[in-house]
Amino acid sequence: MPRYRFLKIKREHGMNITAIGTQLAGAAANIALGGPGAAAASAASAGMDFVSALDSALKAVSQSGNQADALQQQFQLGNPSVSLEQTMVAINKAQLNLSEAVQVRDRLTQAYSQIMNMQV
């Protein structure tokens, strides 16, 4: 019969996704390795991987939006090297990236709410 360990999120962190990600990674490592000793080192590296992945994704969303704005402005100014098609593709990519980021945010918020509502 498997033993289940529940993750206890410290409420002092509030909505700090970084802290929650680190705690989730630590709990997963603790369960996978079966001991608390290896979980601390693994949690720190897994937490930083999550943070760096989230940070790079948000920077990419911001960069695509800035690029679309710059192309739109250049097209409106009449720059002959910027076409309407190029501008529209950049705008659509930026909108798609933003909607994906919003969906990820919604999923993280939903997961956080479910974790906080778990019985301990």
Residue 5 inside a domain? The answer is no
Residue 97 inside a domain? The answer is yes
Residue 3 inside a domain? The answer is no
pLDDT of residue 96: 95
Residue 57 inside a domain? The answer is yes
DSSP H helices in the chain:
17-33, 37-76, 84-116
pLDDT of residue 42: 55
Q: Which stretches of the chain score pLDDT less than 50?
A: 1-13, 37-39
pLDDT of residue 105: 92
pLDDT of residue 110: 95
- Domain of residue 46 covers 11-116
How many domains is the chain partitioned into structurally?
Answer: 1
Q: Is the dihedral of CA 15, 21, 22, 28 positive or negative?
A: positive
Residue 4 inside a domain? The answer is no
Residue 102 inside a domain? The answer is yes
| pTM of the predicted model over 0.75 | no
Residue 6 inside a domain? The answer is no
Single-letter code of the amino acid located at 73: Q
Instruction: Return d(Cα 81, Cα 116) in angstroms, integer.
Output: 53
Residue 42 inside a domain? The answer is yes
pLDDT of residue 50: 83
pLDDT of residue 16: 59
